[in-house]
Amino acid sequence: MNIYQDGSLWICPECGHEWVPSSSWETQQSETEEEVSVKDTSGNILNNGDSVVLIKDLKVKGASGVLKSGTKVKGLRLTDEVADHNIAGKIDGHGIIYLKSEFVKKV
């Protein structure tokens, strides 16, 4: 459920996918992108900039501990950069993390 950076590559330890990001988080956040229809676990449509909460504990591979259910994810960004990880957001203490929309609920 998480992504980490190794040199210039971003890696998903869950599926093994590796890629070179096209631009930085701030640049991607400000760009106007084609809207992708992504829904949370309750069927609510998620939009860029929304805040969501996790609905279950998620193991953070490569780090100690887990992200607890109820953890708030801010500054949501819809993405199709990573296979199966269709949203990205910031979590205090963890930075930017890529998630699957099936594990979040809109607040």
Indicate whether 16 pLDDT > 90: no
> Which domain, by its residues, includes 60?
4-106
Instruction: Categorize the per-residue pLDDT at 23 as very low, low, confident or very high, splitting at 50, 70 and 90.
Output: low
Contact call for residues 78 and 35 (beta carbons, < 8 A): yes
Name which residue leads in pLDDT, 98 or 105: 105
Residue 55's pLDDT is 96
User: Can you tell me the mean pLDDT for 40-61?
Assistant: 92
Q: pLDDT digits over 63-85, tens only? A: 777 899 999 999 999 987 676 88
Indicate whether 41 pLDDT > 90: yes
Buried b (16+ CB within 10 A) or exposed e, 6-24: eeeebbbebeeeeeeeeee
| CATH at 17 | 2.30.30.40
- Looking at the 3D structure of the chain, how many domains does it have? 1
Q: Which residues contact 76 (CB under 8 A, 6 or more apart)?
A: 46, 47, 48, 49, 50, 51, 52, 87, 88, 89
Residue 32's pLDDT is 45
DSSP string, 12-58: -TTT--EE--SS-HHHHHHS------EE-TTSPEE-TT--EEESS-E
